[in-house]
Amino acid sequence: MALKRRTKISAAFSMSSMTDIVFLLLIFFMITSTMVHPNAIKLLIPKKATKKVVVEQYLNVRVTASGRYYVEGKRFGTNNVETGLVGAFNQSDRTIVKLRTDKNASTGDVARVLDIAESNGIKVILDIR
């Protein structure tokens, strides 16, 4: 009793379902990638410089690599740098402090001067050499 099959099995492979899945995944990843927000700082960069700001009158403060403080050429210690800076700033008619630091100066020494300026409402320009 030889039974014959009425339908023959085809060995052909259809790619249409595979391409449908690929396109659906592509659309899914394109939509989800636009929803991702990177953890970055937004910077507002001016597109065009309109004018230059020139500060001619400033109070010179210097921090050396060895941890010495100089206000207008006078040396101050770590304990009395605040009184020297605030006193020199109040006596002069200058509105901005130019803080010059050596390249190898300690960040703690520089931060001390910046903290003093911030607590007394003094604007600072940082000049690293």
How confident is the model over 97-126, as a mean pLDDT?
87
In words, the CATH class of domain 58-128 is: alpha beta
What per-residue confidence (pLDDT) applies to 14? Answer: 79
The domains of the chain are located at: 58-128
User: Taking the mean position of all CA atoms in its chain, how far away is CA 75?
Assistant: 33
How confident is the model over 41-60, as a mean pLDDT?
68
Q: Model confidence at 46, in pLDDT bands (50, 70, 90)?
A: low
In this model, does residue 55 exceed pLDDT 80?
no
Do 38 and 80 form a contact (C-beta atoms < 8 A)?
Answer: no
**Structure token digits, residue 36:** 């991702």
Q: Closest by alpha carbon to 96, among 42, 69, 64, 57?
A: 57
User: Taking the mean position of all CA atoms in its chain, how far away is CA 19?
Assistant: 44
What per-residue confidence (pLDDT) applies to 13? Answer: 76
Q: Give the pTM.
A: 0.54
Indicate the Cα dihedral angle 75, 80, 86, 88, nearest 10°: -30
How confident is the model over 1-20, as a mean pLDDT?
78
In this model, does residue 20 exceed pLDDT 90?
yes
In this model, does residue 21 exceed pLDDT 90?
yes
What per-residue confidence (pLDDT) applies to 39? Answer: 67
